[in-house]
Structure 1
Amino acid sequence: MQNSAIIDAARDFIVAQYSQHPSPQLVYHNLAHTQQVVQAAGQIAAHYRLQDDELLAVYIAAWFHDIGYLTGDGTNHEETGAREAVQFLKEHQVPENVQTMVQGAILATKMPQSPNNLVEQIVCDADLSHLGSKNFSDRNKLLRHEVELTRQQEIPSTKWLSSTITFMLNQHYWTDYAQTLYKQQKEENIEKLTKKLDKKTAEESKAALENSITVAGTGEAGEPAPHEKHKKDKEKNKKPDRGIETMFRITSTNHIRLSSMADSKAHIMISVNSIIISVILSVLVRRLEDYPNMVIPSIIFLTTAVLTVIFSVLATRPNVTSGMFTKADIEKKNANLLFFGNFYKMHLEEYEWGMKQMMTDADFLYSSLTKDVYHLGVVLGHKYKLLRISYNIFMFGLIISVLAFLIAAIFFPVKV
């Protein structure tokens, strides 16, 4: 049986299972969630262009990963799902290597996730793809409702929000593609949850304070209460981390784009003037014996082209740096590890050590980003300065050359 037919059979089997075993309490771990995981798994797998057996394993694992919720309380649903998937594959005479991959992928989704290969990583990332989706808020509400129905008790908002934020901060996506695809939205979701938790905590604190004392929220002469003042100071001093990161990203992108534009302009000057030089040397020089009045204009024209090429090449010529940094540089926060010229001669272990030191120090990280943007600007300024000189030489040299040719042709004609 072809893999596509097996995947379709798995889909029909899972849909039938959810239809035959209705579970009203499964408002989150239902067929809609399974279909969402299958869609996310297919998207991630398509990026890595998996082989037929690996792709089959991803889809089967995605379809069966939560089927265990239909036969129990969900405590060991991964083991149940793995058994059901293997039994299904055996009935369809699927090779044992695929059965092993599917079993491993489903078991790897058990918290904390522990994938050992790409297939398992894809299924794990797809299972938690909702953390980085725009409908996270709705999915999170359904999950809370399902947990409350299962435990038969209400969960306080602050407790649920706090545990969800902790889980999301500790969770990370395993594949590079999922990290790129879901990271930004996941950070936004965490930020929204944090603001909601702060609001809920403030409301509960205010209510508790109002119940314990008669006058709350003001001190002498209408001054804000200490806890309110502390809260305002905290909000005032809070750094807009996302805004800072966006600023660095946009600035660096603009600098790189401007550098690319400068290189393109320099290449145009080099190409045009190289053609001019080749024409002058191959055609015009051989005719100067017949037209001696054109010697000076030709020299001016040739000099213009040569100088233009020289400054254009200088504008695009890369600078060679030492490519080394020391531990003392890291300790003093003098090294910029974001620029390849500062580490291309280093060993990987030394570079990893330096990067870990930088990533654990926010001031060092932002300082490195600032230095990187600054040096990009300095290089860009030098490049555009040389490029401007090149264009000025070409423009004024071309004008002078044309005038020289006209003067030579009109006032110093060749006598036949």
Structure 2
Amino acid sequence: MIYAIYPQIHAFALQKLQAGLSEKYTYHHVAHTLDVLEQCTKIADLEGVVAPEELFLLQVGALYHDMGFLYTYQGHEDKSCEIADVDLTNFGFSKPQKEVVFGLIKATQVPQNPQTKLEEIICDADLDYLGRPDFYAIGEGLYQEFLWQGIVKNELDWNRVQVKFLKNHRYFTPSSIARREKQKQEYLQQVIEKVARLELL
């Protein structure tokens, strides 16, 4: 069975990310990929509808979903698919298996629009932190990365982006809605209040 080679794929993908990602990626780093992988596995278990091969493909999708950042910031999902195509062919994946992984990678593109249960799971795993206690710590990493990329200019800019993003975001799986949505809404209110304070300065 192909999922017997998962340990090799896991090691190969992580080594690739560790060797190639710039230290300026303070959000899209190896720890983020590992977090998404962990949450994919956890949400799949909570949803209770994922077969072994599906879980394997979901985990591979998590490992490769941000691989494109090795080469580009904008449009990294397409680059991630290109890299996955080469690597997974070398690992002996079939065309249908690769197509599932490509779909998983593309599903994480914002605004998210998952088409399958597996895609819903990876979307929720990718943004699981929005309803977690480490919301502000992880958000600070994304803020620094956005400053580096020129996406935001200052803290007020950043918090306005946060408000818009949190308002537009939705979780898809029942387990993520149950575990994360209430806390996410509390963070949204806190960030709205922070924007109001910053606008008075």
Settle same-fold status: TM greater than 0.5. yes
User: What is the aligned length?
Assistant: 200
Matched residue type, 1:15: L
Aligned 1:314-393 pairs, distance under 5 A: none
Q: In the alignment, which of 170, 175, 178 is matched to residue 172 of structure 1?
A: 170
The answer for the alignment partner of 1:57 in structure 2 is 57
What root-mean-square deviation, in Å, do the aligned CA atoms of Structure 1 and Structure 2 show? 1.6
Q: Matches of 2:194 and 2:82 in 1, distance apart?
A: 41
CA distance in structure 2 between the aligned counterparts of 1:22 and 1:159, rounded to whole angstroms: 26
**Which residue in the other structure is 1:158 paired with?**
156
TM-score (normalised: structure 1): 0.46
**Following TM superposition, by how much is the alpha carbon of 1:109 offset from its aligned partner in structure 2, in angstroms?**
1.1
- The equivalent residue for 2:120 is 121
Aligned 8 A contact 2:80 2:105 in 1: yes
Deviation, structure 1 residue 22 = 4.0
Which runs of structure 2 are paired with 1:166-205 in the superposition (5 Å)?
Answer: 166-202=164-200, 204=201
Letter in 2 for 1:109: T
1:182, 1:113 → 2: CA distance? 17
Match for 1:67: what amino acid? M
Identity of aligned residues (%): 26
Code of the residue aligned with 2:173 in structure 1: it is: T
CA distance in 2, matches of 1:179, 1:51: 22
1:18, 1:31 within 8 Å by CA — same for their partners in 2? yes
* 1:17 matches 2:16: yes
Kindly report which structure 2 residues correspond to 1:232-243, keeping only aligned pairs within 5 A, or say none.
none
1:295 equivalent in structure 2: none
Match of 1:277 in 2: none
Alignment of 1:40-189 (within 5 A): 40-49=39-48, 50-72=50-72, 74-151=73-150, 155-189=153-187
Q: Are 1:54 and 1:98, in contact at CA under 8 Å, matched by a contact in 2?
A: no
Cα distance in 1, alignment partners of residues 178 and 69 from structure 2: 31
Give runs of aligned pairs for residues 302-313 of structure 1, distance below 5 A. none
- Post-superposition CA distance 1:87-123 (Å, at most 9, x none): 2222121233221111111111111111111011111
| SS state at 2:140 partner | helix
CA–CA distance in 2 between the matches of 1:18 and 1:93?
21
Which has the bigger relative contact order, CA under 8 A and spacing at least 6? Answer: 2
Aligned to 2:6: 7
Q: Normalising by structure 2, what TM-score?
A: 0.93
SS in 1 for 2:15: helix
Distance 1:120 1:154 in 2: 29
87-96 or 33-42, larger mean C-alpha shift: 87-96
Q: Is the 8 A contact 2:47 2:173 kept in 1?
A: no
Q: CA deviation at 1:10?
A: 2.3
Per the TM alignment, residue 155 of structure 1 is displaced from its structure 2 partner at its CA by 1.7
Greater than 4 Å deviation, 4+ residue runs? none
